[in-house]
Chain A
Amino acid sequence: MSKSLLVISRQAPWSGPSAREALDIVLAGGAFDLPIGLLFMDDGVFQLAPHQDAKAVQQKDLGANLQALGLFGIDDVFACHHSLTARGLTHPVNAQPLSSEDISKLIDRYDQVITL
């Protein structure tokens, strides 16, 4: 059986290539049909903010990559509830909010973890 991998994405979408590169790991894993989970934490939850305008900051839209998660079979997408509320994000896009306690359990469930 394949080992499972949790990717924890902690960087804001427009603060450099980190957010995109974290997503790329997830999408590549999905392409290989591996069991992959994705957790947004800290400033990483800004990737889930609705109505982002990437063009306004002369960036390429990251939303398309997020939308692609489902197509790549990545259904386990989570967000840290504390990080969301601390940043006023009451309506995150396409991610299940988790308490700190649930995040501990989530990390325990996966064989390997990458934090970016």
Chain B
Amino acid sequence: MKFAIALFSAAHAPSSRRALLFAQAALAGGHEIVRLFFYQDGVYSAANNIVTPQDEQDIARQWREFVSTHQLDGVVCIAAALRRGVLNSEEATRYQRSAVNLDAPWALSGLGQLHDATQTADRLICFGGP
């Protein structure tokens, strides 16, 4: 089955971990993930400047490694990300901000990517809230 996965919560929220576990299980079960789309506070789950205590799970890092390892299409909504200060180098330069906290494997793009994934996938699975 082809899944599109949307995430609306930050890396410290249990729902971000649940989404990651679901995504891992989907691939392990032989399914396809057509796209991951991070929206609202989900953009924080892609930020690379999160520092997690050593004895806790670093979910943002696990997301990054998961997307890289499986060469998935990981899209972070650009409007939601700008509003929350999640910027790649291109946007940091454009808006003259000193910090860059988003890089590969994530791409910043628009809501059209969510609709496109929804059309391509058999199922859209959303994760949000706590």
Contacts and interface: CB of A to CB of B under 8 A. Distances in A.
Given A17-B40, A28-B110, A114-B6, A5 B115 contact: yes
Contacts of B112: 28, 32
Nearest to A31: B112
Given A21-B80, A32-B112, A3 B119 contact: yes
Nearest to B111: A28
Interface residues of A, number: 17
Contacts of A116: 8, 40, 128
B124 interface: yes
Interface string A1-43: 0110100000000000110010011001100101000000000
B16 to A, nearest CB: 16
Interface of B: 6, 8, 39-40, 79-80, 83, 110-112, 114-115, 118-119, 123-124, 126, 128
Nearest to A115: B126
25 contacts: A2-B119, A3-B119, A5-B118, A17-B40, A17-B83, A18-B40, A21-B39, A21-B80, A24-B79, A25-B115, A28-B110, A28-B111, A28-B112, A28-B115, A29-B115, A32-B112, A32-B115, A34-B115, A34-B119, A112-B123, A112-B124, A113-B126, A114-B124, A115-B126, A116-B128
Nearest to A32: B115
Q: Point out which of B40, B83, B110 has the most chain A C-beta atoms below 10 A from its C-beta.
A: B40
Nearest to A29: B115
A19 to B, nearest CB: 11
Given A25-B111, A28-B111, 16 more contacts: A5-B115, A5-B124, A17-B80, A17-B83, A24-B79, A25-B39, A25-B115, A28-B114, A32-B112, A112-B124, A113-B124, A114-B6, A114-B124, A116-B8, A116-B40, A116-B128
